[in-house]
Structure formats: structure tokens, C-alpha cells
Amino acid sequence: MTTRPLILLDPHPRASTDIFDDETRRALDGLGEIVEHAGGPMPAALVEQHLPRASLLLGQTDLPAERLARAPNLRGVINVETNFLANIDYETCFSRGIHVLTPGSAFAPVVAEMALAMAIDLARGITGADRAMRAGDEAWGLAGNTGCFMFSGSAVGLVGYGDLGRALHRLLAPFGCRVRAFDPWLPDYFLRAQGVEPTSLDEVLAQSRTVFVFAGVSSENAGFIARPQFETMQPGSSFLLLSRAAVVDFPEMLRQARIGRLRVATDVFPSEPLAADDPARSTPNLLLSAHRAGALVEALHDIGRQAVADAGLILRGLAPVVCRRAQRETVGRSRSKPIEMS
Amino acid sequence: MTTRPLILLDPHPRASTDIFDDETRRALDGLGEIVEHAGGPMPAALVEQHLPRASLLLGQTDLPAERLARAPNLRGVINVETNFLANIDYETCFSRGIHVLTPGSAFAPVVAEMALAMAIDLARGITGADRAMRAGDEAWGLAGNTGCFMFSGSAVGLVGYGDLGRALHRLLAPFGCRVRAFDPWLPDYFLRAQGVEPTSLDEVLAQSRTVFVFAGVSSENAGFIARPQFETMQPGSSFLLLSRAAVVDFPEMLRQARIGRLRVATDVFPSEPLAADDPARSTPNLLLSAHRAGALVEALHDIGRQAVADAGLILRGLAPVVCRRAQRETVGRSRSKPIEMS
Amino acid sequence: MTTRPLILLDPHPRASTDIFDDETRRALDGLGEIVEHAGGPMPAALVEQHLPRASLLLGQTDLPAERLARAPNLRGVINVETNFLANIDYETCFSRGIHVLTPGSAFAPVVAEMALAMAIDLARGITGADRAMRAGDEAWGLAGNTGCFMFSGSAVGLVGYGDLGRALHRLLAPFGCRVRAFDPWLPDYFLRAQGVEPTSLDEVLAQSRTVFVFAGVSSENAGFIARPQFETMQPGSSFLLLSRAAVVDFPEMLRQARIGRLRVATDVFPSEPLAADDPARSTPNLLLSAHRAGALVEALHDIGRQAVADAGLILRGLAPVVCRRAQRETVGRSRSKPIEMS
Amino acid sequence: MTTRPLILLDPHPRASTDIFDDETRRALDGLGEIVEHAGGPMPAALVEQHLPRASLLLGQTDLPAERLARAPNLRGVINVETNFLANIDYETCFSRGIHVLTPGSAFAPVVAEMALAMAIDLARGITGADRAMRAGDEAWGLAGNTGCFMFSGSAVGLVGYGDLGRALHRLLAPFGCRVRAFDPWLPDYFLRAQGVEPTSLDEVLAQSRTVFVFAGVSSENAGFIARPQFETMQPGSSFLLLSRAAVVDFPEMLRQARIGRLRVATDVFPSEPLAADDPARSTPNLLLSAHRAGALVEALHDIGRQAVADAGLILRGLAPVVCRRAQRETVGRSRSKPIEMS
């Protein structure tokens, strides 16, 4: 009799019902014996009871060296919160060949479509025009388009060309935009092969009518877009922040919108939820979004699908191909805090 | 000595400076001798003085049969207002081989990008979320996305597959949407060749999560989308009106938004500008746009470029290929009123 | 009782069974009463008997002015041989508003895919390498690729941007080629809108590594690519002739292949079939095709589908949108001979 | 004073002048101090002299455990022959975090364009028609296309969806083909995300009019396409072999061509060069290519560009993103022999 592989499912702070649709859950159940805990982190006793037999862990469970030593069968850890945390002894995982993965690209398609719509909104004044009609002070036709520009054919700049940048770039294909990208972690060869022009941060900012910021926060880049960088941008350009508030000088970004130098959209804020009296709430030339760009059921379900796809490969003795792998070089650099709940 | 061809330029209600950028104006001047009138319709005396020698007319000048009889050299009439009016004896033009053209597709790209952004806005709640943050009653993350759906991969329906429908369809390419189209003037063969599924109006409405109405008004289709048609749509779907208000039952469309059955966006209204106390101004689930979708400098300049491209062909004795031609079958059916000023 | 419209079907030199698949034939039969003649041109008596009642004619029947005078109900003539001939009084048709159409683009997709494959064949030496292996004198690997080049990313030139050029251009999309086009009948605006660079003939020839000739023969352009034009091309470039032999100096084209200056592919010859002792048969650096590029069942069936699609529109009182229209400006210029049988 | 990193360059059996164009060589020289050996494998003495200081190795040098123990600074090994060999202690590399990479996708674009051209050649009879004209027994027009089919819109099957399959799939985009893929190492989720239909081998063979075999040889799949699999294919279909001869029953493949059941193209042979009297040389319905599909200067130069791009990242302390990584799971499975010279 064959023993089925044991899979620990410890998805907190996500709920397994949020990330697995019915079909994916059935596929997961078909892969092995599932030991699951819901409603909070899996208790240590339960972890310790099953870890010795576990082949896979789906979740964010603490895995210090001593725990990993008690997990001789562990072949993969799939973080379903989608941020690698500092609670794993990565070095041990790498040297033993335990895959540490996360379905980080699950949010890219939903963020990308919202980013594109927000960019066209800024270029064409969509939200502002609706607000004007509700206030009764709209202008019609040509007069209602003062300061607007055609997004199609305009110059686009991407700050960060990871999953989000790539997903947005894919949507830009029919728009005939010249696309420049700045990403210090990617070589020019890679960017050119993807069809974007590799450039410096300054050139992206100075040459683009619309700038999308997709860069994550690392230990090195906090606040790397500050007043000098904003001043590099052409007046009347659009600036969209869709990754983390900490990569920009946030008050300066708001100031650029307030004085009408730039059009700005942001999905993230230095502290969330935003204080009731935060000046951002009444800033003009600003499109506000309450960290909603990625938080869609379709994206959460994709986390589950990606996790189960790679889980299946690992259990068959094959290399995972879907999720992002933790890398020795970068796993320590990210500064993202764990999500409260997204 | 060769005489240069004479071109009458009578662009009212547009201004020639609105439709010709510098480069295009130079190209026009290079084609022949221009007789131009600005600030209103060209006076009859001026028309009559030059018509006998004119090879081309760019504008909306009245051309009854008796005038055409006095224009033996006329080879083309290019309407730059972009609606064929009833002030021309079309039959005479057709039988004499005088091309009657209009750069009708000039507005398609700018309308299409706004239509796409509005559709994603409705699906993802962009304008509403900004309004909520300004009112201080926003919900964050997942909670802020109740009722929203991912536009990518969703079913799209096009009512009308003329220039606007085609331009929007082009932008949809990377989104992986299944696209159905209803257009009674186009055969299934044509629609399939373009990559859309030809269907009935009912099927477009019932099967699509997002419906774009691009159909122009004809003598037959006024109000063809009324309560029975709206009721065919799935609750929570999006309905976008970008052509003419008269094709829908407008109050019913507003009602569908008000009761929360549909999400609606409209760029057009039964009477424009909208009355200050019009209920549309405070209707929820409605994205309002003051006839701004097409009225962009880039589109106006494209009118000029299209007109000059075909003017050049006609003067060289070649058939025009850029503008839309007036057709014996349809030129009498359109009910568009002349623009006041767009 | 309504009388069904009468449709004359006189497809000679094509057979109606060649151009209509079952589904299309049923659609045609559904449009009206069909009077058909097979096995040769429709006898004059039969034409005269039915012409007075005919609404549509599908075929190449002679239609001089006096016959048209006896056809008061005729609304459209659809040539299914796909060349407009001089046997119609076009002026009468134009002035009466009788559509004269031909499904000329039916062959474009099949010609385009063959043209692309032939271009890659020339660049990569496919046919030559197969011949070498059969002769036992092949070279392997790198050594077998002397003089070859990667087609992807190379410069392409199109001489003629009608249906064939457009269909080929569509297939080039993923190849990353810079595409220049020369077409004296199309304005730069049109070519740029299609995504090709408008250039002179000389520049197309001098700058392209692969030149496709799709230009039809007119009364003006016979032999317009002769020794001076071939000499403009870079040595080692590819030249593909897919339209009509008469547009080039054919012996010079063969000479360029024979001396190894150019790689040449041709689907057409000055006289077809080719004489048994024609030197082309043994010319090196030449890819020979016996006028096969368009003659595929799928293309013939598309003739029928296009014809029936527009026939349906015309009978409903709508303007045709699928077939190419005869144009006053150009219908007299084409020099194509009637096909014997293709 | 900073010491520049030391890079060992031991490219045999490739020549560094074959894989680095001038610009790439300059980039490589800019990365550090290069110790290079040409004209054969780097002598052991030279390897041992520099290995202790080496940060990177570009080449196929033997790296048993004891050698790796003497290379404390080694951070990456980039195989430029593009096959991982059994001469490295991979386990040591993995546990120490030494990247083992190869620019395996360098050949994909050149192979893909040739594969596409060969597929259209088989569908449309291009090579055969040229041969017929040279033999003087060609048929013209429709008669010359007996048994041919339109490739555009036909069903395509991919056996193997690695770099080659992906590159070919990209070129298929405008052809409107339904694409099925069989790849036992990739999950359905991955294939669907790429836009192909995941299916079984049998279904790919039975449902596709054209089958491309891109699968590499592993320890498990030798000869996995044999008579039962060929018999599954529809008569008149095309079968193209572009990876390794060992994955098919080669004599049976030839037999299928000889009896006219399938059209076959192959770039690879069980033993190369092929014997002068090999029956393949005179087999009909067969397109022969002497292992030429990948061996193009452009592909070799891409090896260099990919290697230098990742070398730069590794030396900056970043994770490589361009080359393929050796995987614990699969590095032992490949059965490719070292190239003699390609």
C-alpha cells in the first residue's frame, strides 16, 4: 500500500476558502492527505505532530533551522500570502533543495487592468468629469477636455518591470505607446527581449507622459522617488503608484497633484486605512483608491491555482514552473510587512 | 503654364485651425489654390464665384442640383463636420462620380480608449471608490471590491461594429475577452473575419458582462434598447453608451442604474448641455461624461489629415481610400443633427 | 405573394461547385431564385430571357450599355473570376448605382502564407538544403548555413500594399521585422495607419533584405522593376514575385539569381505553362512555383462566401462591405488577362 | 584598490569568437579579468591555477566535487554549449548556491522560424513543387495543389512546450490556428496561461493537421513516438521533427512518408552526418535538413549575449534572469550527447 504524501495547509492570514475555488480544492485534495488549520495560525503542536511526515507546506508557518531538521521529507514550501517573510531559514531550504515559492504574479492581471484604466482616467479626465457633472460645473465637448491628452500613442514609462510591469505592458500592446522601463535588477538584454526600452530612472521620468510605479520596496530603495525625481517629470504628466507607498516621498507626490503640476493616482498610502482628516482626501488632480487594485476574488483564486499547479509538479519529482522562487540573492531584501488582511 | 486645381475650404462649424495642424495645412496648400472662408458659412456669392473652377470642396456647403450643375470640375466633396447632411443632391454626385466623403473614423481611437477605461471603471469601481475616499466612507482591500469583477477574460458585447466598435475591439486584443457583436448592417462573414462573433441583439445583451453601444441613430432604430432589452441583461453587468442618446430609452437606462441593477456609463444625453436639475446628475452606479469622448485635439487633427490624404488622391485621378464614402443606400438614413460645436 | 429576387449565376470560367461549399450554396439559394448555367458561358438567349427580371448577376457575363438598358432591376454584378474585365459598360453601372464587385481578397490569405514560407525558405536555404541532401552533397550545421540569414528581425519591403501586402503584413506581426512599403496608389497616411513605413521604390529595394512584389499590372507599370532596380538591392537579398510576371524584367530577374547576386522566388511566369526547355528550370538560387500560390480550395470557397455575403446586403437594400468595388478611376487600368483556368 | 572579479572562459567546443559579437565581447571584458583558452579544452593546469580566485566560469570545464572545493569564490557556471553535461557535481553547486546556467533558448527563434516555414512547405508543397519544375513534370494552378491544405486556420499540435515550442507558438499568433500542446513536465495551468490547450500525446497526434516535435530526449522518453503513435495521426497530416532523432522511431517515420500517409520534415537524424546511401535521401514526402535549423550566427551570438547578461547580474550579487537554470530534478535526466560541432 502506498502512503499518500502529506500536505500541511496553514494559510493564515488568508482563508483556504478564499484562495481555492471548488475545482482547485478538489485538485489539491487529489494530491495527498491534507492537514489543515483554519481561523488563525496553525498551533505549534499540530505543526510538530505532522511536520516529520510532511512533503509540502502551503502557508506561512515559522520554519527555523531546528524545525526544518525535524522535516526530513519536506520538498516544498508555498507561501500563499505572497510575501516572503523572515520566519524561514532560507539557507537550509536552499542547501537541501526545498523549494520556497510564492504565487506572486496572481495579482498582476487585476492590478494591470486597473492601472491602465487609471492611466487613461488621468489622461482623459474621466473621474474629474464625472465629479464635475455631479457638482453641476462641467464643461462640454472640447471645452471639457482642456489639459487632456490622448493616451494611445503617448510615451509610457515603467518603474519596475516585474510581474506587474509585464502584465501592464501586455495590455499596452494595441495602444502604440513607446514604452521605456527602469529596473535595476534586470539586464538590458532582458528588457529589450520583452520589447521595452531599458533606460535610467531619470529618463523614464523625463520622457514619459505617463509613469507607472510598480517597484516593490527593498532595503535600498525607500523614498527613491522624491522631489528631484518629480521635478524631472514634464508638467501635465501622469504618475501612478501601484506598489508600495514607501518607494515615494508621499507628501511631495500629493503636493505635485495639489499644485496641478502632475496628475496622480495612488492605490497605496503610508498608513492604511487613511486617517479621516488626511489631506489626500481633498487633493485635486488625484485619483484615490483604497488598496483595491489587487484584492479581487479572481486574483485570490489564482493564488490557489498557481500553488496547486506547482505542488503537483513537486510531488511528481519535477521542478516547479509557475510560482516565483525565493532567491538567495533577494529573499532578505524585501521590506514588505505581513498583510493584515488583503 | 499649368493652372493649379482650386479647392474651396468652407469648414464651418469647424475652424480650419482646429482641424489642420501645421504640417497638414502645408500639405493642403501644396495641393492647389485654396479659397477659404472662416468665421461662419461661406457666403453664397463667394461659393458661386469659385464653384465653376473648383475641383474639390472641403466643408458642408449646400450643394443642390442647380449648384452642382454650375460645378463642372468638381471631383470631390469632403465633409469635415463628419456627419452627412441632407443639403447635398447626393444622386447627382453619385451619377457624376463626384466623391462625397467624410473622415468619420477620426474620432474612433479617442472614443475607444475612453470607452475601455470607462468599462474597466465600471467593472472595478474606480470612480466610485475615489468618490468614497473623498466622502470618507471607503472600504479597503477586498471589502472595497464588493460587486466588482475582473474585466480581463469577461464577456464583451458590441452593439454596432462600425469605426468605433472596430477601434474598441482592437484595444481589447490583450484582454482575453470573448467578444460578441450585433450589427444589422454587416454580414456574419464580415464580423467573423474581424474576429468577433456575430449574434442577435438579445444574445449580445444576455451573454455579455459589459455592453458597449456604438450604434448611430438611423431612421429605423430610435429607442431600440428599451426596458425589455435592459431586462435581458444580467444584473451587475455594465452598459456603456457612446454614440447617440436617441438609440436607448434614456430614462429607463437611468432607472437601471438607480435601482442598482446595472452599472451605466454615458457620454451622451437626450439634450445637451444637461439641465442643472436633471436627475442623472445624482444617479448612483452611473459614470457621467459631458460629450467629451471624441472631442480631443488629436481627433480633430486627424480629420484634417484624412481629408488631405484623400484630397491628394482625388486630384491625382485616383480613388480615395481613407475617408468613409457616402453610400446611396444609407446616406438618407442617418438622423444626426448638425453639431452646434463639438 | 412576394416574388423572390432573381439571381443570374454565370460563373464561367469558374465552376459554381468550385466556389460554393455546401453551406454557402444553401445561403445563396436562400437569397432568391437562381438561374444558373454551367459548362461554359451562359448562352445569350438565356441571359436575355432573364436579365429584365434579374436583381443580381454573379459572373463575368458581357454587359454592354444596350444589355444594361434591358436590365432595369439589376442592382449588383459580382465578378467571381476576380479580375474586372472590359466587357461591362462600367459608366452606366456607376451612374445607375449598380454595384460592380469582386471578391479579390479571397486569395490573399493563401498567397500570404506561401509568400512568407518562401521568404524564410530563401533566407534559410530550406529548398536548397533538401536538394543538397538528395544529391548527397549537403553540408551540416553551421557549414550548411553559409550565406543564410535570420528572417526574424530583418528588414522587409513590400512593393504593393493591396490585399496581398496587407495579408502578408498581418503574418509578419510576431517576426519583429521593420516593414517598408511602396504603393503609389496609397497615401502615406494610410500606410502609416496600417503600421508600415511609406517609402519610394528605390528605398524599399535598397533597404530591405527581403522584397515581396505584390503589385498588379496596370497600363503604366509594366516592367517597372528592371536592371537598375535590381542593382539597387543589396547582394544576398531575397526577391519574391507573387503578382504578375509583367511587372518585372523577367530575364534580368533570372540573371540576378543565376549569378548569385539575389535569391529569387517566383510563382508567375511570362508565359504559362513554362516551356520545357526554359532556362528558369535549371537556374540556381531560384525557388520555382507553378502559379500555385492562390489556387487552393479554401481560397475558391472564400470567393463564394464573399459573393454571397455582399449579395445578401444588396438584396436587403444595404451597401456591400466585403468585396472590392470597381472604381471609376482604376477599372480601366488593369491589364490582367482573363484566366484560362486557375 | 579593488580587485576585479576573475572570469574563466573555456568555451570549447565552441569558439569565443563564434559566440561573442564585438559589442558583447566588450561588455564581457568590462565585467572583470578574463582568463581564456582557445583551440581546445582549457588545460587542467590553467584551470587549477585560476579556479581559486574565479568568480565565474563560462564553459563546460569538468567540475567534480574536489575541484569545486578549490573554488571558494565561484558564484556561477554558464555552460555555453547549451547542454548540461554529467561532468559537474551539481549537488555541490546547488547546496553552495553556485548558479549553473545555460543560454538554452538562444536557438529557439531561429529554429522556430524554420519550423514554421517547413510546416507551410509541407502543407503547401513548396519544395516538392520546385523539384517538379526542375524535373519538368509540374502541374499548374489548382492541379498543382492536389493534397495541399491551407496552413492558416488549421489545427496545430506541439509535442514539447519548452523554449522551442514557445517560440514557434509566438510566430503562430496571426495564423488563427487552434494550438494543442503535450508536455508532461508542465502543468495544465501553465499551458493554458500561455494560450495553448493542454492535451494528451494521443490527442495532439489525432487532432492536429500539423505536429511539431520539440521534445528533448530524456532517460524516459526515447522512441516514444513509434508506429502506434504515427497511426493515430490523420492521413495527409504533417509531422516535423526538430529536436532529437531519438524521440521517434525513425525508420517508421520514414516509412510513413514513403507510403504517402504523412508529410514529414526532419532536421535531425539518428547518426549525423547521414550515410551516403541512407534511404532517407530518396524518400518522397520528406523535407530533409542537415541539422541546420539552429546553427545560425545570430543564434550563436545570442548565446554570448545571454551569458554576459546573467554574468553581470551574478557579479552584482543579483539572481540571474535570462539563462535556463540547471534544476536538481531534471539535470540528470537529459541524454543529449555533447555536440561535435554545431
Between CA C29 and CA C1 the distance in angstroms is 19
User: According to the model, what pLDDT value does residue C338 have?
Assistant: 43
**CB atoms C319 and B313 under 8 Å:** no
Let me know if residue C21 belongs to a domain: yes
CATH assignment at residue A88: 3.40.50.720
Largest CA distance in chain D: 78
Average pLDDT over residues D206-215: 98
Instruction: Flag whether residue A27 sits within 8 Å of chain D, measured between CB atoms.
Output: no
Q: Which residues of C touch B333 (CB under 8 A)?
A: none
Burial class of residue C277 in the structure, from the number of CB atoms within 10 Å of its CB (0-12 exposed, 13-18 middle, 19+ buried): exposed
Q: Find the helix or strand (DSSP H, E) in which B225 lies.
A: none
Shortest CA gap C279–chain B (Å): 39
Chain B (198-257) residues lying within 8 Å, Cβ to Cβ, of chain A:
none
Between CA A339 and CA A317 the distance in angstroms is 32
Between CA C144 and CA A290 the distance in angstroms is 61
List all chains that touch chain B, counting a touch as 3 or more CB pairs closer than 8 Å: A, C
Which residues 6+ apart lie within 8 Å of A184 measured at CB?
none
Report in angstroms the alpha-carbon separations of C60 from C11, C13, C85. 7, 9, 8
Number of CB atoms found within 10 A of residue D284's CB:
12
Instruction: Flag whether residue C273 sits within 8 Å of chain D, measured between CB atoms.
Output: yes
Between CA A286 and CA A267 the distance in angstroms is 11
Is the predicted pLDDT of residue A61 greater than 50, yes or no? yes
Among A237, A235, A253, A281, which Cα is nearest to A123's?
Answer: A237
> What total of structural domains would you count in chain D?
2
List all chains that touch chain D, counting a touch as 3 or more CB pairs closer than 8 Å: A, C
CA angle C35, C40, C44 (to 5 degrees): 60
**CB atoms B322 and C187 under 8 Å:** yes
Handedness of CA A78, A80, A82, A85 (dihedral sign): negative
Let me know if residue D168 belongs to a domain: yes
Among A255, C317, C164, C31, which Cα is nearest to B331's?
Answer: C317
Chain C (47-86) residues lying within 8 Å, Cβ to Cβ, of chain D:
none
C327 and C211 part of one domain: no
A127 and A272 part of one domain: yes
**CB atoms D129 and C171 under 8 Å:** no
Q: What is the DSSP letter of B61?
A: -
Q: Which residues of A touch B110 (CB under 8 A)?
A: 150, 152
Average pLDDT, chain A: 95
Instruction: Flag whether residue D327 sits within 8 Å of chain A, measured between CB atoms.
Output: yes
Query: Nearest residue of D to residue A332 by CA position?
Result: D318
Task: Supply φ then ψ for residue A55, to 5 degrees.
Answer: -90, -30
A221 and A315 part of one domain: no
- β-partners of residue B56 are B7, B76
Instruction: Flag whether residue B27 sits within 8 Å of chain C, measured between CB atoms.
Output: no
Handedness of CA B292, B293, B294, B298 (dihedral sign): positive
Query: Nearest residue of B to residue C309 by CA position?
Result: B187
**What DSSP letter does each residue of C13-29 carry, written as one string?**
TS-HHHH--HHHHHHHH
Lowest model confidence (mean pLDDT) among A313-322, A329-338, B101-110, C215-224: A329-338
Let me know if residue D338 belongs to a domain: no
Tell me if residue B210 falls in helix, strand or coil: strand
Residue type for B202, please?
A: D
- Contact between A21 and A301 under an 8 Å Cβ cutoff? The reply is yes
**What grid cell was written down for D314?**
551574478
Q: Which residues of C touch D272 (CB under 8 A)?
A: 140
C320 and C245 part of one domain: no
Among C120, C274, C241, which Cα is nearest to D121's?
Answer: C120
Report in angstroms the alpha-carbon separations of C241 from C154, C161, C268. 19, 14, 7
Residue in D188, D309, D327 nearest the CB of A319:
D327
User: According to the model, what pLDDT value does residue A218 have?
Assistant: 81
Between CA D174 and CA C170 the distance in angstroms is 6
D80 and D112 part of one domain: no
Report in angstroms the alpha-carbon separations of C333 from B317, C106, C161, C216, C336. 12, 21, 17, 10, 9
Out of D254, D270, D288, pick the residue that ends a domain: D288
Between CA A219 and CA A200 the distance in angstroms is 20
Between CA B327 and CA B333 the distance in angstroms is 10
- Contact between C127 and C266 under an 8 Å Cβ cutoff? The reply is no
A201 and A63 part of one domain: no
Average pLDDT over residues B307-318: 97
Query: Nearest residue of D to residue C141 by CA position?
Result: D292
Instruction: Flag whether residue B289 sits within 8 Å of chain A, measured between CB atoms.
Output: yes
- Contact between B256 and B239 under an 8 Å Cβ cutoff? The reply is yes
**CB atoms C126 and D289 under 8 Å:** yes
Is the predicted pLDDT of residue A9 greater than 50, yes or no? yes
User: According to the model, what pLDDT value does residue C10 have?
Assistant: 98
Among D150, D158, D159, which Cα is nearest to D179's?
Answer: D158
Q: Which residues of C touch D280 (CB under 8 A)?
A: 133
CA angle B200, B202, B206 (to 5 degrees): 120
Between CA D85 and CA D106 the distance in angstroms is 18
Between CA B107 and CA B121 the distance in angstroms is 21
pLDDT more than 90, % of chain A: 93
Is the predicted pLDDT of residue D225 greater than 50, yes or no? yes
**CB atoms B134 and A291 under 8 Å:** no
Instruction: Flag whether residue B33 sits within 8 Å of chain A, measured between CB atoms.
Output: no
C239 and C326 part of one domain: no
Between CA A310 and CA A324 the distance in angstroms is 10
**What grid cell was written down for D168?**
514557434
Residue in B94, B189, B321 nearest the CB of C190:
B321
Between CA C185 and CA C162 the distance in angstroms is 9
Among C335, C241, C221, C235, which Cα is nearest to C291's?
Answer: C241
**What DSSP letter does each residue of B46-60 carry, written as one string?**
HHHHHGGGEEEEEE-
List all chains that touch chain C, counting a touch as 3 or more CB pairs closer than 8 Å: B, D
Q: Over the stretch D288-302, which tens digit does the pLDDT of each residue have?
A: 999 999 999 999 999
pLDDT more than 90, % of chain D: 93
Between CA C140 and CA D299 the distance in angstroms is 16
D8: number of CA atoms within 13 Å, CB side?
32
Residue in A189, A305, A321 nearest the CB of D306:
A189
Q: Containing domain of residue A66, as a range?
A: 6-103+297-333
D307 and D245 part of one domain: no
Q: What is the DSSP letter of B3?
A: P
Largest CA distance in chain A: 78
List all chains that touch chain A, counting a touch as 3 or more CB pairs closer than 8 Å: B, D
Between CA C60 and CA D98 the distance in angstroms is 75
**CB atoms B150 and A295 under 8 Å:** no
Tell which phi-psi region holds residue C200, choosing left (phi > 0), alpha (psi between -120 and 50) or beta: beta
How high is the ipTM of this complex?
A: 0.96
Q: Over the stretch B176-222, which tens digit does the pLDDT of each residue have?
A: 999 999 999 999 999 999 999 999 999 999 999 999 999 998 878 89
- Contact between C340 and B223 under an 8 Å Cβ cutoff? The reply is no
Let me know if residue D342 belongs to a domain: no
Q: What is the DSSP letter of D234?
A: P
Average pLDDT, chain B: 95
Average pLDDT, chain D: 95
D245 and D192 part of one domain: yes
Instruction: Flag whether residue D315 sits within 8 Å of chain C, measured between CB atoms.
Output: no
pLDDT-derived band at D334, boundaries 50, 70, 90: low
Mutate to test the interface with D, among C17, C124, C263 (most CBs of D within 10 A): C124
Among B8, B73, B66, B89, which Cα is nearest to B42's?
Answer: B8
Between CA C55 and CA C53 the distance in angstroms is 7
Query: Nearest residue of C to residue B194 by CA position?
Result: C322
Let me know if residue D324 belongs to a domain: yes
Q: Find the helix or strand (DSSP H, E) in which D329 lies.
A: none
Strands of the sheet containing D155-159, edge to edge, are: D197-198, D178-182, D155-159, D210-213, D238-241, D263-266, D286-288
CA A308 to chain centre: 20
Q: Which residues of D touch A311 (CB under 8 A)?
A: none
Instruction: Flag whether residue A148 sits within 8 Å of chain D, measured between CB atoms.
Output: no
Shortest CA gap C186–chain B (Å): 7
Size of chain C, expressed as the number of residues it contains: 342
pTM: 0.96
**C-alpha gyration radius of chain C:** 22
D66 and D146 part of one domain: no
Task: Supply φ then ψ for residue D318, to 5 degrees.
Answer: -110, 165
Residue in B130, B280, B291 nearest the CB of A287:
B130
Judge if the upstream peptide bond of residue A13 is cis by omega within 30 degrees of 0.
yes
C154 and C264 part of one domain: yes
Position of cell 504565487?
Answer: A103
Among D218, D244, D182, D186, which Cα is nearest to D84's?
Answer: D218
Mutate to test the interface with D, among A189, A327, A328 (most CBs of D within 10 A): A189
Between CA B218 and CA B335 the distance in angstroms is 5
Q: Which residues of B touch A171 (CB under 8 A)?
A: 174-175
Let me know if residue B340 belongs to a domain: no
User: According to the model, what pLDDT value does residue C217 have?
Assistant: 86
User: pLDDT means per 10 residues in chain C (342 residues)?
Assistant: 89 97 98 96 98 98 97 98 95 96 97 98 98 97 95 98 98 98 97 98 98 90 95 98 97 98 98 97 98 96 98 97 95 53 34
Burial class of residue A277 in the structure, from the number of CB atoms within 10 Å of its CB (0-12 exposed, 13-18 middle, 19+ buried): exposed
Which residues 6+ apart lie within 8 Å of D14 measured at CB?
D80, D81, D300, D303
Parallel/antiparallel/unpaired status of strands D263-266 and D76-78: unpaired
Question: For residues C307, C310, C314 and C319, what is the CA-based torsion angle, rounded to 10 degrees?
Answer: -140
**CB atoms C342 and D276 under 8 Å:** no
Among A342, A335, A327, A329, which Cα is nearest to A102's?
Answer: A327
**CB atoms D190 and A309 under 8 Å:** yes
Let me know if residue C338 belongs to a domain: no
B136 and B256 part of one domain: yes
Q: Which residues of C touch D140 (CB under 8 A)?
A: 272-273, 290-292
Between CA B201 and CA B159 the distance in angstroms is 7
Average pLDDT over residues B164-172: 98
Let me know if residue C341 belongs to a domain: no
Residue in D97, D306, D329 nearest the CB of A94:
D97
Q: Over the stretch A100-155, which tens digit does the pLDDT of each residue have?
A: 999 999 999 999 999 999 999 999 999 999 999 999 999 999 999 999 999 999 99
Handedness of CA D303, D307, D310, D312 (dihedral sign): negative
Between CA B137 and CA D109 the distance in angstroms is 53
User: According to the model, what pLDDT value does residue D338 have?
Assistant: 43
Q: What is the DSSP letter of C3?
A: P
Task: Supply φ then ψ for residue B265, to 5 degrees.
Answer: -130, 140
